Amino acid sequence: MPYLTGVLTGVLLTILVLFLVDHVGTDAGPRVVNWDVLGAKLGASAEQVRQDVHEATAPDGETSSLPAPSGEAR
């Protein structure tokens, strides 16, 4: 379990450092990370996971009443 904790801590610290480098300072230069694209992709992934979990936990014989995620027809 300590290994997992170390990996997660490293990932979170890396994201925090990138965020601070992009947002702190007066230089209007290029960004290290395009946060708008990252947010959109994470949002789409979260919606897909939510849909998959809903379908996996639905009782047998019941079809999903949730709409398909945007951009993908099921």
pLDDT tens sequence across 5-50: 999 999 999 989 888 888 776 666 777 778 788 888 888 888 888 8
Q: Which residues are within 8 A (CB) of 19 and not within 5 positions of it... i.e. 6 or more apart?
A: 33, 35
Residue count of the chain, please give it: 74
Domain membership of residue 71 (yes or no) is no
Range of the domain at 46: 32-58
More confident residue, 9 or 73: 9
Domain membership of residue 54 (yes or no) is yes
Domain count along the chain: 1
pTM (predicted TM-score): 0.46
Domain membership of residue 42 (yes or no) is yes
Domain membership of residue 15 (yes or no) is no
Domain membership of residue 36 (yes or no) is yes
CA distance 42 to 48: 10
Domain membership of residue 48 (yes or no) is yes
The SS3 of residue 69 is coil
| CA 69 from centroid of its chain's CA atoms | 15
The answer to whether residues 51 and 69 touch, using CB atoms and an 8 Å cutoff, is yes
